[in-house]
Structure 1
């Protein structure tokens, strides 16, 4: 049987959903062509009062809106490509958790242009941005047997919070996973959700060397371990689609879901001497560790660099900042609100373009902004600050230039270029929506990292998820 040559890749991100149809290039094992792609804004911030709504720092998304955006993406892709799809790769925002009832998590709608599913008996998604687990609560949790610390927004931390604050809520469900684990489970009608080590590590209380949850630690603490998904190799076969789906044939193979970080890196990293920088809603700087590298099995909550599972039991060194494009968005919203308070109505898009233009003309500034309005996982209580303020540096150009520089400098403080050089990095490959829209951010990246920097990569996690599935299928065919 010939290896699948057309793969659908899906990425369920924090702010948008993307889908891409990828075809293997004939005669080139590493080549590919993106036949079609589509993205839709999710606009999924939960508005209804949720049974698990915690303090004001809680961050939840409406799963129905995410799936609606996914359905809109697939409906927009050409039917002639979808009919040829032989495999589906899925990635999505890491760390988050949602709950559902096995066998009742969705219903299929046969009417309309194409069969599609919509969520049923599903909770909101508590995202990676969730802040309900403060430092005091995290300190009360048992120490994990893992090289990764547990932070707010991590799936297991959220479940511990619910166990303490809303135990009745947890009794309503018998399955849990990330948003992308949920989609895979629904497509394949899995009796139990499957989770890759990439996503399991992002939940906490997972030992990557043993490839297992910290069951004894969790059981002793009263944790509802029956909610934990089974573990499987990333992109290995999770199952097959139980229905035809937007023209994709019934019985199409679906891979175990990937983390969006790993999928993004996979789509960007041409050589093992590349580091991959992504600045979108948040920021990630990743570099591959040598084969055989094993992180210390004692978590260090204060360490700014974490080691995440990649593929084939290797690791990525990752500096993951919570403060990226979302900081710029917060600044824009503040300006729009100030102007509204003054009786002026201005579109956010207009404000954004004007402030970037002003910063581009302002090549330097003495103003210093530490932009950590969301804290950082290794410094959860850190707030933002503005220093070296003078009357000459208060123009929109100065402030925006300082804000963009602060985002990049904050990342550089977490993973300096000197350390990348020690690991053998020779080039930085950059991608992400915030970088593509913002020439000032690109300038500041070049200023901070004295390597050749490649910009404008036309890649994303959806393409990466497809490529991983494509490569796996080709490898299996060869063996």
Structure 2
């Protein structure tokens, strides 16, 4: 089925858990919303005899980044009005007859960040061409997960959390601490706080007290996933405004119902508690507990499901390369999240382009990429070793890249490109070793991400590194994942 919306909107056939639409959709639909770092995406999912199917989707760039008056250049903030405008544009582009059949709404978005609002004046409802819609009112900027205002020195001055997650800049509680110490008057203007996805849920359901999932609460810091509670005693002792902390509910539960019609979506539709975008992305493609998800786009992640009953450590290990994310039904994901993925290859291509330019030649980077991949495909064996951590890693931020075992006979672009691709995969395997995957019961690798899709050399190195079958085309989609969670709750 082809979509009827403007560019960025339309139907899509998936080779993953979703099937292509065949004929007319079922009477009911589930809407998935992903409020991402740079764009908003919505997806309408319906049920067919073959399973779930994506009926329509639409995405919009938010262009929401704005200057931070309080934090200066270290701050990373977004204009909430622009984010909601992009959301409204996406919904307005979807077919009204399908929106009218929506029974559940699943919402996800960028984790860690924090936005503040007044619980009784968080938005105003207005009429637009497709029905009622809300616009933010008395809402702060969104301080995103990329925010850098909390220096290592500042973080070390804060109380030690009772959590399995190490506190970092960009985490909601760390940002609130920063305001408490640097600009306390700012906090006095608001009585509610949450992630951007928590804000949308609160507006749709008219929640006077924000409700946050375990997934998003864990991403804020000062939260125990084991007890599903905030470290309120620790926070109160340091004067933290605990009244701003949302109530916490189970991931996948219902937060409430829409109190008004919304772009043709009926009043009274069930709205799920807002979820983490990482968990929803994994949910969109992970069909078996014995699967591992390998995603290589700008960065790279290798994810496995932990056995039932697993509990993360009670205290964080800052030197650990693996982080445990709360998933669904009390389960956890073990994640090796590398900062070095397709961005390393892009940097290498840029370097080659710069070198050729310095030699008086002008070659497009796209042409360079194609040629170096072709050259690498001809070089299956090489002793050249590239450790590609040029962007560091969260558990070793000071780490740099290196090249070793250099032989005069292995300095061609093909040799270097092959070694670089191998290094990206080996770096992930050093963070989450193959033996651990085997011990956990992994039987298959699901490969996804733009860098993996366009690079046959990377795929070859994946197949060489892992002693499991590798299945490609399992693209991750947080909006679809959020809809799938709600569909399975129907």
TM-score tier by shorter-chain length is: 0.7 to 0.9
Show the counterpart of 1:17.
40
Show the counterpart of 2:55.
35
SS at match of 2:284: helix
- Mapped to 2, the partners of 1:288 and 1:179 lie a distance apart of 27
Deviations 1:51-93 (A, max 9, x none): 333444x433333333233223222322222111110001112
SS at match of 1:180: helix
SS at match of 2:102: coil
SS at match of 2:43: strand
- Mapped to 1, the partners of 2:222 and 2:87 lie a distance apart of 30
- Mapped to 2, the partners of 1:71 and 1:332 lie a distance apart of 38
Which one of the candidate residues 449, 470, 473 is aligned to 1:453?
470
* Cα drift, residue 339 of structure 1: 9.4
- Mapped to 1, the partners of 2:355 and 2:94 lie a distance apart of 41
- Mapped to 1, the partners of 2:262 and 2:215 lie a distance apart of 27
Show the counterpart of 1:477.
none
Unaligned runs of 5+ in 1: 474-479
- Mapped to 2, the partners of 1:345 and 1:124 lie a distance apart of 43
* Cα drift, residue 191 of structure 1: 0.8
Q: Does 1:355 align with 2:369?
A: yes
Show the counterpart of 2:430.
413
Q: What is the TM-score when the length of structure 1 is the normalising length?
A: 0.86
* Residues 214-233 of structure 1: pairs in structure 2 closer than 5 A: 214-233=231-250
Q: What is the TM-score when the length of structure 2 is the normalising length?
A: 0.84
**Conserved 8 A contact 1:356-1:400:** no
SS at match of 1:203: coil
* Residues 11-410 of structure 1: pairs in structure 2 closer than 5 A: 11-26=34-49, 31-44=51-64, 46=65, 48-56=66-74, 58-327=75-344, 351-352=365-366, 354-363=368-377, 364=379, 366=384, 368-373=386-391, 375-384=392-401, 403-410=420-427
Q: Size of the alignment, in residue pairs?
A: 461
**Conserved 8 A contact 2:285-2:476:** yes
- Mapped to 2, the partners of 1:339 and 1:245 lie a distance apart of 55
* Cα drift, residue 356 of structure 1: 4.5
**Conserved 8 A contact 1:281-1:326:** yes
Farther-moved stretch of structure 1 (421-430 vs 221-230): 221-230
- Mapped to 1, the partners of 2:222 and 2:56 lie a distance apart of 39
- Taking a change above 3 Å as real, the CA distance of residues 33 and 185 of structure 1, as seen in their structure-2 partners, is same
- Mapped to 2, the partners of 1:443 and 1:406 lie a distance apart of 12
* Cα drift, residue 336 of structure 1: 8.2
**Conserved 8 A contact 2:124-2:136:** yes
- Mapped to 1, the partners of 2:417 and 2:36 lie a distance apart of 26
* Cα drift, residue 49 of structure 1: 2.6
Farther-moved stretch of structure 1 (440-449 vs 223-232): 440-449
- Mapped to 1, the partners of 2:412 and 2:239 lie a distance apart of 55
- Taking a change above 3 Å as real, the CA distance of residues 381 and 436 of structure 1, as seen in their structure-2 partners, is same
Q: Could you say what the CA RMSD is over the residues aligned between the two structures, in angstroms?
A: 3.1
- Mapped to 1, the partners of 2:409 and 2:78 lie a distance apart of 42
SS at match of 2:480: helix
- Mapped to 2, the partners of 1:117 and 1:380 lie a distance apart of 41
**Conserved 8 A contact 2:56-2:94:** yes
* Cα drift, residue 459 of structure 1: 4.4
* Cα drift, residue 427 of structure 1: 0.5
Which one of the candidate residues 419, 424, 429 is aligned to 2:441?
424
**Conserved 8 A contact 2:385-2:423:** no
Deviations 1:118-166 (A, max 9, x none): 3333333222233333333332221111122212222212222332333
- Mapped to 2, the partners of 1:459 and 1:230 lie a distance apart of 29
- Mapped to 1, the partners of 2:347 and 2:187 lie a distance apart of 33
SS at match of 1:268: coil
Unaligned runs of 5+ in 2: 1-25
Deviations 1:324-379 (A, max 9, x none): 44555666777889999999999xxx634642542343235636242342x33322
SS at match of 1:275: strand
- Mapped to 1, the partners of 2:277 and 2:78 lie a distance apart of 17
Farther-moved stretch of structure 1 (362-371 vs 150-159): 362-371
- Taking a change above 3 Å as real, the CA distance of residues 328 and 12 of structure 1, as seen in their structure-2 partners, is farther
- Mapped to 1, the partners of 2:136 and 2:458 lie a distance apart of 38
- Taking a change above 3 Å as real, the CA distance of residues 164 and 50 of structure 1, as seen in their structure-2 partners, is same
**Conserved 8 A contact 1:367-1:390:** no
- Taking a change above 3 Å as real, the CA distance of residues 396 and 54 of structure 1, as seen in their structure-2 partners, is farther
- Taking a change above 3 Å as real, the CA distance of residues 111 and 4 of structure 1, as seen in their structure-2 partners, is closer
SS at match of 1:218: helix
